[in-house]
Structure 1
Amino acid sequence: MLIPLTSCANSSLGESLEQSFAADPKLEENASSQPTETPTVSATPPFQPSIQGSETPTPTLSPSPSVTPQTNGSQASIPPFSDSTVVGASGNSDGSIDTTTASNNSNGGQATGTDGAIAFSDLTKAPKALQQYVSDLAQLGVLTPASSSKANQAKEKTLFEPNSVITRRDYVRWLVAANNRLYAAQPAKQIRLSTDAVQPAFQDVPRQDPDFPAIQGLAEAGLIPSSLTGDSTTVTFRPDAPLTREALILWKVPADTRQALPTASLDAIKQTWGFQDAARIDPKAMRAVLADFQNGDLANLRRAFGYTTLLQPKKAVTRAEAAAALWYFGFQGDGQSAQDALKIPSKP
């Protein structure tokens, strides 16, 4: 088409075509009168959801202001533990709480409560009269889970088994832990743990035994019979044997009185306690049984076994009964209970 158009130049046909392709002067006039608008770009890009695999970064959103729920104008409180779950810890012999168990829960380990404490799930199975004693000691971190050989290890570590028989080693561990926890502010009344540098007092509790520091410590303090106390016939401790009632009293009362035990006789036991089976009590335990009577309503026998005319000195002690005996340390009103210790804020 260029050849014919070129040939029409300077002709009437060419002028006609030039006028037909020329811009409308009215349109040019209107266009020049309109102001030019500059598009506005928002400084904040629109929110785009994050899509996995996308290279576009997700913009950071400002956090919403936190809202604290209010109840009647005051901050809402966290509900306490239910009656069916009581907090306890791993029970170190020195009375401290083992906080290393706190991380076990996230790794499929034992259920834990505050400060690494084990949340025992079966404390309500204890006799009602003993539940408060057990609960208080559990909250202090004195009690340990029941030992068992069942397959479900994770569940076992939350069971206290209050009505199971307690072993002699477990009772010694609790005794030392409870005493040192209740007298945390009084170092002179604490029981010192032994070291593996000393000669073992018992043939069946070597230095490698996990409870050697507590058992040996009680022997060196003279709170349990051993060769150190002049009892040459006591060469074994039998740590895994059941704890008997007379052994519970024999080991606990010296930690209560903090003084020499009184001279005791069969008649004195009958006249005070009125036990029909007083003749079955080991002579070594008689003095402790008589001293326990002098403690009135705070006597270990009354707290653990209630009113009874039969001591049954050779009967095995349950874990709940042992905890009840360890709930209080002291003599004739001068002492400390687990409930008292709970009121004292622990040091960080």
Structure 2
Amino acid sequence: MTFRLSRRTAVPLSTVAVLSLALTACGGGTTKESTAGDATAAPSSSTSAAADPNAPLKEGLKIAYLPKQLNNPYTDVEVGGGKVAVGELKGEYKLVGPNDASASSQVSYINTLIQQQQDVIVVAANDPNAVCPSLNQARKAGIKVVTFDSDAAKTCRDAFINQATTQGIGESLVKMASELAGGSGEIAVLSATPNATNQNSWIEVMKTELAKPANAKLKLVKIAYGNDDDQKSFTEAQGLLQTYPNLKVIVSPTTVGIAAASRYVSSSNYKGKVAITGLGLPNQMRKFVKDGTVKKFALWNPADIGYLAAYAGGALASGQITGAEGEKFKAGKLGDYTVGASGEIVLGPPTEFTAANIDQFDF
């Protein structure tokens, strides 16, 4: 069973904080604004035309996906949803990307996509600013730019598909960690890359939450980086547990990291002593939930993120929306969406997975 998200607007998810599932939003999007000298102002050609909500969706659109890296389980699900949506739009789907998640590795792919005259580029930025000059060159060439999962600077894209609000995700990660730690003790974060926009934004919210009196007994001892590489994440998890013998929880807001940390703990003496939580794929995490290594984690359906990005790109390229706040469009099976502030389009709240419900999900 693949779950459906009911949220349909880009209004900040005030309900995230009160989700009955004690939410731990999965590692994905970010709304944190980044600025840099090379994040130049958006080309006027991208914003001057007025939206026509009644304009027909164009067929034959060339929509290219550029994720953080290829051969990543989470990414595979995301772009798979995009491929389905592009098919529904009767467009041409293309997938390109690096095998590593370094900050500058995406630039050459963007330049190639410009030369190929794509209509839409859907990109998950490894660095919010490194991709900006190339993305703005694409926009000057008339290509619509949609970021998903991890945002670029707001001045170099037309819309951003966010999984949930940054605030809600960070709060949820701390809430799960606190529950698993019994309200006190040492916790550590196992993140993706040091420059990952989404990860850094969630971690900043986590720090703010941990500074509140309610979480005064929790201590963040380390932020480690596994670079979204399975073996490095495995090694980093091992290092955290060896360096901090009193560690109670590892929080990994990345699907690669949480799976690698779980694999290490499941076959070590730390099983049952150190909790693992964060953002993960149910199919990848099921065995660790079943064997008791992981009590709870969270995520949304990544396929829906890629799916929504395609429809947003189609709406932009067809003139139905420009990325301005308040514009509305229909995203196929997901229904109606409204563009929020700064071109942000929020998919909806994530779901918390436990032994009680994990078998209800298949992705």
TM-score by length of 2: 0.25
Judging by fraction of residues, say which structure has more strand: 2
TM-score normalized by the length of structure 1: 0.26
Bigger relative CO (Cα 8 Å, ≥ 6 apart): 2
